[in-house]
Amino acid sequence: EVNLVESGGGLVQPGGSLRLSCATSGFTFSRYEMHWVRQVPGKGLEWVSYITVGGRTAYYADSVRGRFTISRDSAKNSLYLEMNSLRVEDTAIYYCVRSVDYWGQGALVTVSS
Amino acid sequence: SYELTQPPSVSVSPGQTARITCSGDALPKKYAYWYQQKSGQAPVLVIYEDGERPSGIPERFSGSKSGTMATLTISGAQVEDEADYYCYSTDNSGNHWVFGGGTELTVL
């Protein structure tokens, strides 16, 4: 069974940093591109970033480019999102997504003073 | 930046056919994907690569595409199909993904 579990969410002040993790199981992690998608509660979905199978190339939405960094560790079957210079508008539920098909349950990130 | 456009809401009676559209300039060359999201839950993939249905998704869900418009069709919509539906695709580069704004489907 494919499983993705996000962790690392929480409350952070504007300008602060946070690192999200996504632990995966039930599939060969190294064979899939991985994405982060976020959703402000009550609003629509927003693609944030994706990383290629080998981890050498990453792409970002304009809204986070230069502040967020996606990475992966195939030895740990895990995906990460390093978030710096956080803004109030980054407050959202962050989902880890395998390619286009399986989603985690999300981690809530709240940016507030 | 690239955009996908969906109607904000669609309403049908139980048993009727619901159609949700998604328009985008890159759709003629890029696949469309569709997700269903019920309140408080993570999205679920219901259609991939324009018209393919994942295992476990009811046959009443189908997808099609013509030119710059993709369509999700729910034939004989059920009350349990009430949810938000999002289309998803990439820009022409294939490296930047975009969601449509979402369509709230009401079945009553």
What are the tokens at B47? 């259609």
CB atoms within 10 A of CB A47: 21
Q: CA of A35 to nearest chain B CA: how many angstroms apart?
A: 10
Answer yes or no: is pLDDT of A109 > 90: yes
Provide Rg for chain B, Cα atoms: 13
CA nearest to B93 within chain A: A59
Contacts of A19 (CB under 8 A, 6+ apart): A8, A80, A81, A82, A83
Model confidence over A24-38: pLDDT tens digits? 999 999 999 999 999
A33 interfacial to chain B (CB closer than 8 Å): no
Q: Are the beta carbons of B88 and A100 separated by less than 8 Å?
A: yes
Query: So what's the pLDDT on residue B1?
Result: 87
Contact at 8 Å (CB) between B20 and B2? no
Q: How far is A104 from chain B, CA to nearest CA, in Å? A: 7
pLDDT in tens, A68-100: 999 999 999 999 999 999 999 999 999 999 999
Q: What does the block give as tokens for B101?
A: 């704004």
Question: CA A44 to CA A27: how far, in whole Å?
Answer: 28
Q: Please list the pLDDT of chain B residue by residue as tens digits (108 residues).
A: 899 999 999 999 999 999 999 999 999 999 999 999 999 999 999 999 999 999 999 999 999 999 999 999 999 999 999 999 999 999 999 999 999 999 999 999
Closest CA to B93 of A96, A60, A78: A60
